[in-house]
Structure 1
Amino acid sequence: MQKINDQIQSVSINQLTEHPLNRELFSALTPSEYELLRQSIQDHGLQHPILISKEMVILSGNCRWRICKELGYEFIDAKLVDYSYEEEAIELLITENKARRGAEDDYIKLAKQMDSLHEAWNISAGRKSAHDARDNGQKKRKDVAAVFGMSEAQVGRHLQLLKLNPNIQSLVSEGNISLMGGVALSGLSMDMQNLFYDYMQQTNYPKLTVNEIKTIIESLCNTVGNLEKNIDSVPKTETPIDDIEEKEIAKVQKAISKVLLLNLSNGSKNKLKATIISTLKKLEENA
């Protein structure tokens, strides 16, 4: 178990490094928040020492450290944290920063915090903790939920977001997709998620409601289902299709999928339908 020493040390500011997970797990302060903290340190000095490991890695106080460097500090007040396992350092990184920073607005970063705390406490479905002997009582999902002031179900919904591909995660982080919208998308395959992202690009990333997202998902599923039926209706040849043909077919599938996502006029729909039917007939004739 980690222990924060009461003694305050003055350490060289240039010997310290940021924890590698800090930027991944926590949003940067807004410009106004950063300037307010900077002004406070400039006027009154550092009021609260930062927390560091014996390897000179900052566990809490990365923003204060950067500001002190900007202000020309050569030394900074710090408290040393003793711990035996890296998981304990990650636990402290999450709990201390959460307590100091307050609510995290980025759902993806929040989900990563929850996931990291699960990992640090070795909480995983159907797997006994390897650290039971030193845990003094295994942590459970309810303990993670308590840290974030949520129910276990709410934590579970956040964790669903980590099943999204990176592009859609970015849209969630930017606020273009809500928490529940992301949860609705998380059940899709990666191929379907890619189709959804293509749609978002075509529409310049609108802010969608959950119902709008569900409607788009239904449309995508119908589109892909119709494409698969058309492809399955093409007679199979005994000769295997080589790599070049596979790639060309994939290009056609992707092109048709994108076209079907557009709001086509009736004339364009009929033209597309005629083209597909004509192509399928030619494939049957050449079989």
Structure 2
Amino acid sequence: MKIYEQIQEIPINTLTEHSLNTEYHSELSSSEYDLLYQDIKTNGLQHPLLINKDNVILSGHARWKICRDLNYENINVKLIECSTDEELELLVLANKTRRGSERDHIKIAKQIKLLYECWKVSPGRKSVHDAQDNDLKNRHDVALAFDKSDSQIRRYLQLLNLKQNLQNLVSEEKITLMGGVELSGLSTDSQDKFYECLQNMGFPKLTVQQIKKIIGSITVAEETKNRDNTTVTDSDVINIEEKEIKKVHKAVLTILQLKLSTTSIDQLKAIFIHAINNLEGNV
């Protein structure tokens, strides 16, 4: 990656937003926008935008929009020469550094996944030291880039196992980060059932414990349905009969090896006679 230090002034309408910017970054809140707007209006643009050779913005989307709103005709930029992966890395890290913490957990998860891909981080890599020895980035480097622990990074990535409708609820803060992690282990069918439950409830904001209770009720309902729908074949019946007969045969052999009292023999006779009569009645 090469960043040219020379600042250029170019027509603002020749720049375009990166196509993936909104995929990985939320819009500024109204208060954040107002603060930045007033700062640029009062002090001018303090930091040039970073762009590629095609005049696509890699860092500075919010500043570019505000300068347009302030009717700037020209804007200061720095040109960057880099690969596609380096552009995407810059899209995540440069904007993260300048704009601060992203509020949307799903966008954070997507940023983390993108950085994994850009840095060729493999989930199966044996250790941090192996990656360092080969001059490669590792999972811990990703965690450091986001100022999070390795376990927190894993939780965020789990959110991407959610179906889109549940991801939307996480983005809207109707499902918390840990609530999303709980849901991420469900099958797609169970996720659909969970979403239907929330829909019927009017999409309330739930605690993790409430989410666990709903998941539990869905699991119980599915297990009951599976039991009710289980079909017992003739071969299943035959196998069960053979197993039970072998158990009885083994028990009888064990009893015959014992020295039974007269009372026990009488009890055993009564049991056999009753069993034989029942068998003959079922034929």
Give the TM-score taking structure 2 as reference length.
Answer: 0.77
Equivalent in the alignment of 1:171: 169
Give the whole-Å Cα distance in 2 for the aligned partners of 1:219 and 1:69.
53
Give the whole-Å Cα distance in 2 for the aligned partners of 1:42 and 1:151.
39
Counterpart amino acid of residue 148 in structure 2: M
Instruction: Say whether 1:69 aligns with 2:44.
Output: no
Equivalent in the alignment of 2:146: 148
Instruction: Say whether 1:187 aligns with 2:185.
Output: yes
Q: In the TM superposition, what is the alpha-carbon distance from 1:125 to its structure 2 partner?
A: 2.7
Equivalent in the alignment of 1:224: 222
Q: In the TM superposition, what is the alpha-carbon distance from 1:235 to its structure 2 partner?
A: 8.4
> How many aligned positions are there?
228
Q: In the TM superposition, what is the alpha-carbon distance from 1:21 to its structure 2 partner?
A: 1.3
Give the whole-Å Cα distance in 1 for the aligned partners of 2:53 and 2:100.
27
Q: Counterparts in 2 of 1:205-224, with a 5 A limit? A: 205-224=203-222
Give the whole-Å Cα distance in 1 for the aligned partners of 2:226 and 2:134.
54
Counterpart amino acid of residue 4 in structure 1: I
Q: In the TM superposition, what is the alpha-carbon distance from 1:16 to its structure 2 partner?
A: 0.9
Counterpart selection for 1:93 from 91, 94, 97: 91
Which deviates the most, 34-43 or 171-180? 34-43
* SS of the residue 2:206 aligns to: coil
Which structure has the bigger radius of gyration?
Answer: 2
Q: Deviations over 1:193-248 (max 9, x none)?
A: 00000001011111111111111111101111112222234989xxxxxxxxxxxx
Instruction: Say whether 1:38 aligns with 2:37.
Output: yes
Q: In the TM superposition, what is the alpha-carbon distance from 1:127 to its structure 2 partner?
A: 7.4
Equivalent in the alignment of 1:60: 59
Counterpart amino acid of residue 96 in structure 1: A
- State, as a whole percentage, how many aligned pairs show the same letter: 52
RMSD of aligned residue pairs (Cα, Å)? 1.9
Give the whole-Å Cα distance in 2 for the aligned partners of 1:93 and 1:227.
48
Equivalent in the alignment of 2:101: 103
Unaligned runs of 5+ in 2: 127-132, 235-283
Equivalent in the alignment of 2:129: none
* SS of the residue 1:6 aligns to: coil
Give the whole-Å Cα distance in 1 for the aligned partners of 2:170 and 2:27.
16
Counterpart amino acid of residue 92 in structure 1: L
Counterpart amino acid of residue 197 in structure 1: Y
Q: In the TM superposition, what is the alpha-carbon distance from 1:155 to its structure 2 partner?
A: 0.2
Give the whole-Å Cα distance in 2 for the aligned partners of 1:228 and 1:110.
38
Equivalent in the alignment of 1:20: 19
Counterpart amino acid of residue 193 in structure 1: Q
Give the whole-Å Cα distance in 2 for the aligned partners of 1:67 and 1:180.
35
Give the whole-Å Cα distance in 1 for the aligned partners of 2:137 and 2:32.
34
Q: In the TM superposition, what is the alpha-carbon distance from 1:68 to its structure 2 partner?
A: 1.1
Equivalent in the alignment of 1:280: none
Counterpart amino acid of residue 191 in structure 2: Q
Distance 1:235 1:167, change over 3 A: farther
* SS of the residue 1:143 aligns to: helix
* SS of the residue 2:151 aligns to: helix
